[in-house]
Structure 1
Amino acid sequence: MRDKEATERNFKELDSDNDGYITAAELKANLQKNPKVSAENVAKIVQLADENGDKRIDYKEYAKYLG
């Protein structure tokens, strides 16, 4: 299991507008530095991590996804 402080720090970095959620757009903006990460990959990550179906990832979902 990841260190809780590192998980919180990474979540905050991905949540660029500081609203408490990571959207597909935020995730894509942060991951676009890696050419192997496509929009389709980002959508799959959001789909897998988003447990309540609101198309965004809250901290609880993020931490659980990283497991």
Structure 2
Amino acid sequence: MTTCLLYNHAQTRPARFYRIELAMNLFDEVSLLREWGIKGGKGCSTINIFGNLREASVAADRHRRRMLKRGYDRA
């Protein structure tokens, strides 16, 4: 299991978070879990299933780069 946690501490908005996690599931597939929302509040989440780790890693890295461009940063 691999996790990446990003925060956006903009002065004009409440602090926000974005979490990306890769994990193997019981069916020998790789799950990509993404959670986002306001820090300290209830967030939203989505799960994408991939057939192998390479596809899941590429998708996770694409989401991470997109969030870094939007102003998120590692804590």
**Structure with greater helix share of residues:** 1
> Larger relative CO (CA 8 A, sep 6+): 1 or 2?
1
**Structure with greater strand share of residues:** 2
Q: TM-score range by the shorter chain?
A: 0.3 to 0.5
TM-score normalised per structure 1: 0.32
Rg comparison, structure with higher value: 2
TM-score normalised per structure 2: 0.30
